[in-house]
Amino acid sequence: MAEENSKGPVDTAHLYDGKVVRSSAPSRVKAAGTLKRDTGIPDDAMPEIEIPGWIETIFGGPVLTTRKFLPPDRMVVSLQIWSSASLLVLTFLTFMLTPVSGTAWFTLSNILGIGFIGLAIHWILMLIGLIGGFFGISQRDQRALLASYVALILVTVRFAGSKVEYGLSFLPEDETIQKILLILYAVFLVMYIEISSGIIRFSMLDTSIRTGEVYVMNVNAITRRYTRALSVTPAVAGFVAMLTLFINLIIPAFVGILDPVAANRLRESVELTSVYGVALGTILVFIIIASMFAINLPLRIQQYTERQS
Amino acid sequence: MFASLSIAMYLLGLVLRNQQLVTVAVVLLSFLTWAALRTAHGDVASTGKRMEDAAMDEGVQLQSIVAMRKTSSARVFEDGEIDVTVRIQNRSGVAKVLELRDRVPEVMRVKKGANYVLMEIGPKRETEISYTIETPLRGFYTIGPVCIRVQDELGLFHNEKEILLYDDFLVFPKMEDIKDAMVKSRVPKIFTGAVNIRNPGEGSNFYNLREYIPGDPMKKVNWKATARQDGKMMVNEFERDAVSDVILIVDSRAVSETGPVSRNSLVYSTRAAASLTQYFLSRRDSVGLVVYGDEIVSVDRDTGKKQLYIILTKLAGAMAKGNTPLKIVTNRIMPHIHRGSPIIILSPLEDDPTIIDAVRDLRARNFEVTVLSPSSLEFEFDARRIDRTGYEVLKTERDILITELRGLGAYVMDWEPDMLLFTALAGARGF
């Protein structure tokens, strides 16, 4: 059975068994067809077809690249520095803003009666995020980077009960500062993901340039645009997040024009100050954004820009 | 991926009542939305369907990009080079970062320059990219289309367009100089007898002297000979130049492509046919070609440089297809060729039980048959696709077939992969 399944060179014995050898050369094409299970078709005769796995199908492409990179150029090195800096800040913010209470491992360790295990897991997750991140950044290893993203996101998955809590007790309880810290944390997380992905992207590009696969005209202009986008986009994202997080102040401010009492009541309402207030804010902000897309505003802005220029 | 992640985090945040998760999700969504706005990814309508207008489909960013291509040659020989220049124009007033790939056939190698370029192109500007491709294999090829991609700066979204700009070119099989084989051989020409038609005619080589006949042009008068003959006018006669009809039969059945892409029987056969055509046409012979695979393609006998290019074009387009037996080919062409004409068959001699009959028929009608057989066994064995035992057995069968063909009076050469054409030809003729 094992022999039947093994692929190997064509066995030509069947061509001569009980047959008169003719002067015409035998056909190996026919031989391949007459053999039963062990066709013996050489491996290199088959075209290589890459069938994506179910994970790749979900994400619409390969999640990790296995490509070997050449030593980093100046752009990649500077991205590595930025990424490391944002990872440091992010880990510190995560440590500040994410208490162990409410996490699954905390609950589990309490049930088992070994409280410190929950805290240990919590810190280990943060350490995986930090060390994995540094390793991934320096070695440009996507697996380590992915582990770092997962660890840093996983550590925040906890039942929080609508109230912002700190991992450190000495931080101010002021709501505005809390929310600004939250936005900073979120912006740094997204920046860390974006810049570390940028390291891989630019390493691929740099390797392609140096191996002659792609030629880049005016590299400086392209990197300048990327750098500008890296500074503008987080600012915009932070602003939008601020609008949604401070919805409990924005809505009452509008209502206050008409009815100051109702505005005050709204300002102090649990619904608006809780996570559902943020959800409401998100819905309002994204309804505006969705309507922009519905009327194809980006396209129209572009058409306008092209006409004007 | 980011969009799925942010939505998952948002929903999880709501379920767990975790503001931290919701905030991260909101920031991530805003990040994506801004990037989408910057790329004009919004040309994907909110319904999820693209807009009806095909032109709008590509978005404004791509509509104002124009590409033009120029190639240095439309006909080239194997191992030759083609210089390609692509001019890109940005007719809009906005600078764009473009990724551009000019598609070249897979078998071609970009030798100099790049066909894949990332560039920033300013408003109302144009730029040129140039590259050189190597053409290792004969055939009909097409360069194009030009693929253009515009990305946002963060690489999150992109719009793509294919500019349907195509340039066709033809790669002729490589030709080998086979004159050496003739010089080294013991007889001055490969084909004696039938080829050397020693008849007077309109040629360039002196044949003999004869008396003047009214109507002979005065330029043919040999005045020295006339003086020696006491006033009897003598004229020069010349040897007729078109000496023979040579028929080349190329086997392009599916089996002829057995072996690696660049080293198989069909590749060798077409190169040999091209070299022989050039050689015979340079001798002012008339050459005809028959290529058989799934159909029989023939080129009528003719002389001259034009005939060379007609034959080269047919050889460039020979595809390994079908399984037409040689007997059908010979039966069809025999009534149309002069008896005694040399016929050269280029075939791996595989998977065709009619070969013996076909050659016997040709010999019976006094055709001089030469078989040049690139051995696909050797190609496969070199590529380690068959084992030693299989090779030995098949080789023995092949040798028996070749011996039988030789017994019919055909000149047969088992052409091994590393053997030069003129060596193979010399072997075939038994020199």
Mean per-residue pLDDT over chain A, rounded = 78
Q: Is residue A84 part of a domain?
A: yes
Model pLDDT, residue A163: 61
* Single residue among A200, A217, A234 that ends a domain in this structure: A217
- Asked if A11 and A147 sit in the same domain, the reply is no
Coil, helix or strand for B248? strand
How far CA A112 is from CA of A103, A246, A294, in Å, comes to 14, 40, 53
Question: In angstroms, rounded to a whole number, what is the distance separating the alpha carbons of residues B88 and B110?
Answer: 19
Give me the domain span that covers residue A33: 2-45
Q: Is residue A160 part of a domain?
A: yes
Which one, of A96, A119, A115, A247, lies nearest residue A165 by Cα? A96
Instruction: Give Cα A152 distance to the centre of its chain.
Output: 12
- Asked if A82 and A207 sit in the same domain, the reply is yes
Which among B22, B35, B401 has the least Cβ separation from residue A25? Answer: B401
Q: Report residue A154's pLDDT band, with 50, 70 and 90 as the boundaries.
A: very high
Same fold, B55-172 and B179-194+243-428: no
Which among B2, B17, B23 has the least Cβ separation from residue A182? Answer: B23
On the 0-12 / 13-18 / 19+ scale of CB atoms within 10 A, B181 is buried
Domain edges within chain B:
2-39, 55-172, 179-194+243-428, 206-238
Higher pLDDT residue, A161 or A54? A54
Instruction: Determine the residue of chain A that is closest to B388 in CA distance.
Output: A9
pLDDT in tens, A118-139: 889 999 999 999 999 999 999 9
Coil, helix or strand for A147? helix
Pairing between β-strand B206-211 and β-strand B234-238 as defined by DSSP bridges:
antiparallel
Which one, of B145, B144, B151, B163, lies nearest residue B63 by Cα? B163
Instruction: Give Cα B92 distance to the centre of its chain.
Output: 41
Which among B22, B117, B394 has the least Cβ separation from residue A215? Answer: B117
Contacts of B38 in chain A (CB under 8 A): 229
Judged by CB atoms closer than 8 Å, whether chains meet at A233 and B34 is answered as yes
Residue B415 host element (H or E):
strand B411-415
Say whether pLDDT at A20 is over 60.
Answer: no
Question: In angstroms, rounded to a whole number, what is the distance separating the alpha carbons of residues B133 and B115?
Answer: 9
Q: What is the mean pLDDT of residues B246-274?
A: 89
On the 0-12 / 13-18 / 19+ scale of CB atoms within 10 A, B283 is buried
- Asked if A98 and A213 sit in the same domain, the reply is yes
pLDDT in tens, B179-238: 645 433 333 344 443 444 444 555 556 778 888 888 888 888 888 888 888 778 888 887
Share of chain B above pLDDT 70, in %: 85
Query: A233: which 2 tokens?
Result: 């986009």
Question: In angstroms, rounded to a whole number, what is the distance separating the alpha carbons of residues B273 and A277?
Answer: 82
Model pLDDT, residue A60: 60
Distance from CA of B32 to the nearest CA of A (A): 9
Model pLDDT, residue A33: 45
Angle at B429 between CA B423 and CA B431, to 5 degrees: 70
Q: Is residue A236 part of a domain?
A: no
Question: In angstroms, rounded to a whole number, what is the distance separating the alpha carbons of residues A74 and A82?
Answer: 12
- Asked if A118 and A77 sit in the same domain, the reply is yes
pLDDT in tens, A21-38: 444 444 445 444 444 444
Say whether pLDDT at A6 is over 60.
Answer: no
Phi, psi of A117 (to 5 degrees): -65, -40
- Asked if A29 and A142 sit in the same domain, the reply is no
Phi, psi of B246 (to 5 degrees): -110, 130
Distance from CA of B23 to the nearest CA of A (A): 6
- Asked if A207 and A145 sit in the same domain, the reply is yes
B147 touches chain A (CB under 8 A): no
Question: In angstroms, rounded to a whole number, what is the distance separating the alpha carbons of residues A140 and A245?
Answer: 35
Question: Where on the phi/psi map is residue A261: left (φ > 0), alpha (ψ -120 to 50), or beta?
Answer: alpha
Instruction: Determine the residue of chain B that is closest to A216 in CA distance.
Output: B118
Instruction: Determine the residue of chain B that is closest to A93 in CA distance.
Output: B20
Say whether pLDDT at B346 is over 90.
Answer: yes
Judged by CB atoms closer than 8 Å, whether chains meet at A190 and B36 is answered as no
Contacts of A101 in chain B (CB under 8 A): none
Which one, of A149, A156, A154, A158, lies nearest residue A130 by Cα? A149
Model pLDDT, residue A65: 66
Say whether pLDDT at B59 is over 80.
Answer: no
Place of tokens 């589990």: A108
Q: Is residue A185 part of a domain?
A: yes
Q: What is the mean pLDDT of residues B139-149?
A: 89
pLDDT in tens, A174-198: 778 888 888 999 999 989 998 998 8
Q: Is residue A302 part of a domain?
A: no
The rounded radius of gyration (Å) of the Cα atoms in chain B is 33
Contact A188, A196 (CB under 8 A): no
Higher pLDDT residue, B184 or B34? B34
The beta-carbon contacts of A276-281 under 8 Å, at least 24 apart in sequence, are A276/A162, A276/B14, A276/B17, A277/A247, A277/A248, A278/A244, A278/A245, A278/A247, A278/B19, A278/B22, A278/B23, A278/B26, A279/B14, A279/B22, A280/A247, A281/A243, A281/A244, A281/A245, A281/A246, A281/A247, A281/A250
Say whether pLDDT at B328 is over 60.
Answer: yes
Which one, of A126, A128, A106, A127, lies nearest residue A116 by Cα? A106
Question: In angstroms, rounded to a whole number, what is the distance separating the alpha carbons of residues A200 and A80?
Answer: 10
The rounded radius of gyration (Å) of the Cα atoms in chain A is 30
Please tell me the class of the B179-194+243-428 domain: alpha beta
Model pLDDT, residue A59: 62
Model pLDDT, residue A298: 67
Q: Is residue A12 part of a domain?
A: yes
Contact B181, B422 (CB under 8 A): yes
Angle at B26 between CA A186 and CA A234, to 5 degrees: 55
Contacts of A232 in chain B (CB under 8 A): 34
* Single residue among A174, A198, A217 that ends a domain in this structure: A217
CATH for B55-172 is 2.60.40.10
Place of tokens 């999700």: B25
Q: Is residue A294 part of a domain?
A: no
Question: In angstroms, rounded to a whole number, what is the distance separating the alpha carbons of residues B139 and B313?
Answer: 9
Say whether pLDDT at A172 is over 90.
Answer: no
Model pLDDT, residue B240: 54
Higher pLDDT residue, A284 or B318? B318
Model pLDDT, residue B202: 54
Say whether pLDDT at A79 is over 80.
Answer: yes
Model pLDDT, residue A227: 86
Contacts of B18 in chain A (CB under 8 A): 102, 156-160, 275
Say whether pLDDT at A9 is over 70.
Answer: no
Model pLDDT, residue B44: 36
Judged by CB atoms closer than 8 Å, whether chains meet at B27 and A159 is answered as no
How far CA B16 is from CA of A119, A162, A284, B21, B410, in Å, comes to 20, 8, 21, 9, 89
Model pLDDT, residue B39: 63
Say whether pLDDT at B36 is over 80.
Answer: no
Contacts of A189 in chain B (CB under 8 A): 24, 27
- Asked if A92 and A144 sit in the same domain, the reply is yes
Say whether pLDDT at B424 is over 70.
Answer: yes
Instruction: Determine the residue of chain A that is closest to B28 in CA distance.
Output: A190
Mean per-residue pLDDT over chain B, rounded = 81
Q: What is the mean pLDDT of residues A228-240?
A: 87
* Single residue among A184, A217, A250 that ends a domain in this structure: A217
Q: Report residue A83's pLDDT band, with 50, 70 and 90 as the boundaries.
A: very high
Query: A95: which 2 tokens?
Result: 């440590």
Coil, helix or strand for B299? strand
Angle at A222 between CA A217 and CA A226, to 5 degrees: 165
Range from A45-59, B239-253, B285-299 that averages highest in pLDDT: B285-299
- Asked if A18 and A157 sit in the same domain, the reply is no
Q: What is the mean pLDDT of residues A273-300?
A: 78
- Asked if A163 and A212 sit in the same domain, the reply is yes
Total domains present in chain A: 2
- Asked if A199 and A85 sit in the same domain, the reply is yes
Query: B400: which 2 tokens?
Result: 């028996």
